[in-house]
Amino acid sequence: MNRIYLDNSGTTPMAPEVVKTMTEMMTNVFGNASATNYYGREAKNILETSRHTIAQTINAEDKEIIFTSGGTESDNTAIMQTAMFRKNEGKHIISTKFEHEAVLRPLQRLENEGFEVTYLNIDENGQIDLDELKKAIRPDTILVTIMMINNEVGSLLPIKEIGEIVKPTNAWFHTDAVQAYGSVPIDVKEMNIDLLSTSAHKLNGPKLLGFLYERDGIDLPSFVQGGDQELKRRAGTENVPAIAGFATAAKLHYEENNLEENTNKYASFKHSLVDGLTKNGIEFEVNGQLDSQMAPQVINIWFKGIKADVLLTNLDLDGIVGAAGSACTAGSLDPSHVLISMYGKDSPRVWESLRFSFGIENTLDDINQLVETLTKIITRLKNRNK
């Protein structure tokens, strides 16, 4: 069976170039980057070269990049450490109702510890109201944390505008860019971002690795206690081969015209999928918007009258992998909190929607096969229910 993978928002396969880089590093470089001997200096050089490569992709300084175990740690560090570090200045935080659990759960913990969190509403296009944000900011607001791209519906939030609103206030601006890094241009200076989280496995890099961008002038205490690695900002021996692989993945997505080419390719996938389903008479609607203010690689579709878990299982049996909700909450029987925030808990969309997310290995033939398979399965299921 020829399997088609369309869950790249959940994770991506490592690119061959990344595998090659990591294999070379694991074979030839084993030193501890904190050691002062020859092998340590060799590893340190690779570490810092990789840090420089990654910093350039977001217009950051090398010293502003802190390597972590991934997006979850980066989000937790930015939120929890900001709260602990700045609690004497205020205990008010602003976020949105459709953040990833790696943001929502630390916020819930902080609420239990006496902090107040304002959750901005989400409209049916997957966007926030900037006026609501302006009204929510108070003198005791110490942090605004709003994701760059929503992982389920693909909403691209107006990060630059949010940064402009937050900049003159007392608050710091953190964005969860796990779905955005490698997919859209990011300039932390132009966007007035103070803290930014990423994860390597979302852009064809290794798992258990990411970075936290921490603007120069912000000096959060290490979330992980231990040694003095990462300029005392994150304890633990750096995984140099994986970090070198991460830098290779970053170059793969950001160098030359790759970002623009991928964006155009994914846009053509979306339109082929929508046009094909329409032509075949399938009842559906796109959750959010199709093009405007949307990530290039994600589309979330409501298949009317078809339970998402049933459709997902049938697709998997036919060799096509999609997703219903976030991969991080796939074991949950609860409906998507993202779709609930957009359409309400009584909307059938929350039970009948699937996400398809594209990657660099996908082709137009994959999308045509998806249309054909969806049409076959949905027609069969609807005939069975007559």
Which residues form the catalytic set?
328
Beta strands (DSSP E) in 82-231 are: 92-96, 116-120, 141-145, 172-176, 195-197, 210-214
**Phi, psi (rounded to 5 degrees) for 257:** -105, 15
Scan for tokens 């609607």, then name that residue.
285
CA-to-CA distance for 204 and 197, rounded, in angstroms? 16
Q: Name the strands in the sheet holding 284-286, side by side, starting at the edge strand that comes first in the sequence.
A: 284-286, 298-303, 353-357
What is the 8-class DSSP label of residue 236? S
What is the gyration radius of the CA atoms in the chain, in angstroms?
21
CA-to-CA distance for 350 and 295, rounded, in angstroms? 20
Q: What does the block give as tokens for 227?
A: 């040694």
Contact between residue 179 and residue 149 where contact means Cβ atoms under 8 Å apart: yes
Q: Which helix (H) or strand (E) holds 285?
A: strand 284-286
Shortest CA distance to 114 belongs to which of 135, 138, 93? Answer: 93
CA-to-CA distance for 120 and 209, rounded, in angstroms? 30
Dihedral sign (CA 273, 278, 280, 282): positive
Amino acid at 311: L
**Phi, psi (rounded to 5 degrees) for 321:** -110, 120
> CA of 10: how far to CAs of 63, 288, 329, in Å?
29, 19, 11
